[in-house]
Chain A
Amino acid sequence: MPEQLLWGMEIVMNGLMTGVLYALVALGFVLIFKASGIFNFSQGVMALFAALTLVGIMEGRVPFSHLIKAVSGVSVHHFGWNVPAFAAILLTMAVMVLLAWLVNRFIFRHLVGQEPIILFMATIGLAYFLEGFGDIMWGSDIKKLDVGLPEGINDTIDEVTFNLLGYGFFIDNLDLWATFVAVLLVIALVMFAQYSKHGRAMRAVADDHQAALSVGINLNFIWVMVWSLAGFVALVAGIMWGSKSGVQFSLSLIALKALPVLMLGGFTSIPGAIVGGLIIGVGEKLFEFIIGPMVGGATENWFAYVLALIFLVFRPQGLFGEKIIERV
């Protein structure tokens, strides 16, 4: 087999795995959008915040230590203990649920029935608040996140492909894990939305508030639940991205990559978020590989957005979105 083709295959596989991570972030958007009609701009920052909190808890950092020092002059940075990854993840999830409750109680409960653009603006505000809050709480240095996921090249794949094709594929263990976790998460979310009592209630709330109340659904409970779910997805995405590239504030920018994913997949479709993520992941890697050298590289920065633009022109509802039919 020609070498170029083998390289291409390797790139596609790596692209698929990056795509899964994009899909993870996009999924958080879709969930909230489906259940509350809110386009949650803060999803990326939520992932950052979750990752920051997780690192902070694991390493026993004292929250607001810089603030404490500035106000009282007391310098405490570490509690002096380490929390095991599993317990820290549970604690972080508890923080995300608390955050969900606060967001609902102090922001969105007061905006019931407002225009979507108002709700969208509120999430932008939330994004900036959360980014600043995360900074004050945990500091702005780049943190290493290690929850015990295997990293580095997967030797089995390297060996098997080398024996079969004469060329060993380089696949990162972390990417494999991310893919596995993402697939599990998606299956669980779809099952939850389609078959569970609360999933049905969630879909009902998304559709009609009044009708939902009349069948005995507690709107506030469902909203807190949806924001908690988004927090959970953000935590998973934060762990994966954080393990890959460290927990840093540019993490919140991955949310921007989720936008073209959503335009491709459609804002209301869970499978759409996944397929969209995969297409963008593979597309940008292949494009960089094939076209990149001709235009001087760095195409990964803009490829996704151009693709999304093309989709907006020809298929504005995305691949899987609900068809927009205007009745005259």
Chain B
Amino acid sequence: MSVMDQETSVTADGRTIGGVLMEMRNISLRFGGVKAITDISFDIREGEIRAIIGPNGAGKSSMLNVISGFYVPQEGEVWYKGAVRPRMRPFEVARQGIARTFQNIALFEGMSVLDNVMTGRLNHMTTGLLSQAIWKGKAEQEEIENREVAEKIIDFLEIQHIRKTPVSRLPYGLKKRVELARALVAQPSLLLLDEPMAGMNVEEKEDMSRFILDVNDEFGTTIALIEHDMGVVMDLSDRVVVMDYGKKIGDGTPDEVRNNQAVIDAYLGIAHD
């Protein structure tokens, strides 16, 4: 089933996919003479799980960094919620409701899990420094509300037992989950996951896949993810963008992509079948 042409649609498993949330128009990104991304366009619809795949060095991470504002493309426009996004710094992009995780985990190692997750709520804290000191009640109320959201997400991702543990002591798989929790508590309009399954064993991968599906299902969060593991991507996502050498070579549902000759040549062509 294609969702490309309709305003809203319902997937086979009953989730509603809305209109276009984000659109990349003719994005090109260069580092000096190296072309990381060449003239790529695609969109992300509300409520869907959108994957960006491709071989090593295809420019996937660069694309995610463009979306999250860490890289500024030389050409092209980023449309978000129906308007062109002006040039922004990463923290401003985050404040617009775009949360992300990192390929090689960027957590606050010195803080506890709970503190890490709470940093995700920073932009939902409206009371400033002075009012926090003066109207203690209001600030406390806000802290309690933020804590509730954080605890809910912590429960949801099944990391209650490590709430007070310093992050530096956690194994890799759990760190990935904490990072996801921190991104989720921001209640983002768009959640970006940079290789959420990288370096995980089969069991951890299954857990993470389940969490990604549950998040999308439960909160209706729009998710864009980059992943190496083809099997996982095909099971998870509604639509897939395929990149190779910085160019888009395929875009569509997992089935469409699977049967796309250019994709097979570039990526799946060497599959051992």
Contact = CB atoms under 8 A, between A and B. Distances in A.
A207 B116 CA distance: 11
Interface string B85-126: 000011110110001111000111111000100111011010
Contacts of B100: 214
A208 B129 contact: no
A213 B91 contact: yes
19 contacts: A197-B125, A200-B115, A200-B119, A203-B108, A203-B111, A207-B107, A207-B109, A207-B111, A208-B106, A213-B70, A213-B89, A213-B94, A214-B68, A214-B90, A214-B99, A214-B100, A215-B182, A216-B94, A216-B122
Contact of B118 (A196, A200, A212): A200
Given A197-B125, A197-B129, A214 B106 contact: yes
A211 B122 contact: no
A201 interface: yes
B106 A197 contact: no
Given A207-B107, A211-B106, A215-B120, 6 more contacts: A200-B118, A204-B108, A204-B111, A208-B108, A216-B91, A216-B123
A208 B110 CA distance: 10
Interface of B: 68, 70, 89-92, 94-95, 99-102, 106-111, 115, 118-120, 122-123, 125, 127-129, 132, 182-183, 186
B94 A215 contact: yes
Nearest to B167: A207
Interface residues on A, range: 20 to 34
Nearest to B104: A210
B35 to A, nearest CB: 24
Given A200-B119, A200-B122, A214 B109 contact: no
A315 interface: no
A145 to B, nearest CB: 28
A196 B129 contact: yes
A13 interface: no
